[in-house]
Amino acid sequence: MQIQLEQLEKDSGIEWQEYRLDELFGKATRGRRLKSVDRVDGELPFVTAGEKDMGISAWIGNDVHVFKKNTITIDMFGSAKYRGYQYGADDHVAVVHSEKLSRLVVLFLAAAINKSSHAGQFDYSRNFYAGDADELKIQLPTVTQNGKQQIAYNFIEKFIATLNAERIATLNAYLEATGLKNYALTSEEQTALDGLDIAAWGTFKIEEVLVWQKNISELNPLHLDALTVSAAKKYPFYGQATSNNGIIEYRHLRDEVLNNALSKPTILIHSNNQNTVYLDTPFYLKDGHGATTVLQSKDLNKMTAHFFIGSIKKVILQKYSYNAKATKIELKNTEINLPVKTGHRPDYEYMALVITAMQKVVIKNLVDSLDVQIEKTAEIFR
């Protein structure tokens, strides 16, 4: 793919030039602050700073300025996101927009802004403001026509379409190789889904059904280099971020700081943001003063673990927040609902069947969408 993109750049006669955002979009605008207590439930996404849910903190019905779709938001940390829908935004969010630019071009520009704004300029101590957007400089492909340099919009669209085609082909090959394209529900799976409303449910404290793991190694990121064994990207190093399931990077460190060496199915719950993830590999964990709960059970496998995660998140996302953290003591006494069989025992077989069925439903929707994308992409290259 890299060779193909390089050839496309060469054939198009591309040179890379620096442009200020206000040259492309004019002056950036921003939203207005809307306190949580003043928000009215509605259907308009309200964008604030953060990675979780693309920065959408609420769906509101307030009378606020509605930004157009096909725009870019830049939050206080310099994170740029493409918005293909109408939305409201608070005053920590800068918005740039141009009527003349296509969706593919705006997607490309969002990536270029991210590359520039994440070059160490902005963080918690130095926030990104709307005024910064006007002066932010990004690198864009440029061509010379009739002795005049101009942004190569046609190249950008071809570049994004080429990338998209490669990603679609890779996904399609993966679905074929793993057999996931076989998404027809078995009679047992269909019965399991149909029976969700009438299934018997029981209430359990988390500590009654999952086991807190002890002697978990937590590492200061500043000490990673001293602990490094080789340059291999061997095992994930988890923090408490919500993006990329909390994985900061991959490392190969000394054996004594490795957790879950036997690759048992494991659930992590981060107290600060209630981010809950599944893993079944060895891992390293960022120092958080015990802020991450590590859970296992003899009855956990990939399917039952995801059922547990759904039940846990349903409760803790409502019950806890940054100011009311999901600590280990709180979590042990937190109650969740699970399907049960005779004797008030969790029905692990039913849980696994439901998740398997739901996975097939999701894959079916993905494949249907993929088929449409394949046809659209094919039209570009005809």
Tell me 77's DSSP state. T
Q: What integer pLDDT is reported at residue 380 of this predicted model? A: 47
Do residues 356 and 186 touch, judged by C-beta distance below 8 A? no
Question: Which mean pLDDT values do the consecutive 10-residue runs of the chain (382 residues) have?
Answer: 76 88 87 89 91 88 93 88 94 88 91 78 63 84 88 90 82 81 88 90 96 95 94 93 85 97 96 90 90 94 96 92 85 95 94 93 80 57 46
Q: Is 350 exposed, middle or buried (0-12, 13-18, 19+ CB in 10 A)?
A: buried
Q: What integer pLDDT is reported at residue 276 of this predicted model? A: 93
Q: Token digits for 297?
A: 């059970």
Ramachandran area for residue 131 (φ above 0: left; ψ -120 to 50: alpha; else beta)? alpha
Residue ranges of alpha helices (H) inside the chain are 2-11, 21-25, 103-117, 130-135, 153-178, 187-194, 206-209, 224-227, 302-319, 328-332, 348-380
CA distance 367 to 180: 9
CA distance 117 to 18: 14
CA distance 190 to 356: 10
- Kindly report the number of other CB atoms within 10 A of residue 329's CB atom: 8
Do residues 316 and 269 touch, judged by C-beta distance below 8 A? yes
DSSP 83-122: E-S-BEE-TT-EEE--TT--HHHHHHHHHHHHHHHTTTT-
Q: Token digits for 151?
A: 């942004």
Q: Is 78 exposed, middle or buried (0-12, 13-18, 19+ CB in 10 A)?
A: buried
CA distance 311 to 96: 39
Q: ∠ CA(49), CA(51), CA(52), 5° rounding?
A: 105
Tokens 């080789």 sit at which residue?
230
CA distance 29 to 129: 10
For 124-150, give one letter per residue: b (16+ CB within 10 A) or e: eeeebbbebbbebebebbbbeeeeeee
Q: What integer pLDDT is reported at residue 214 of this predicted model? A: 93
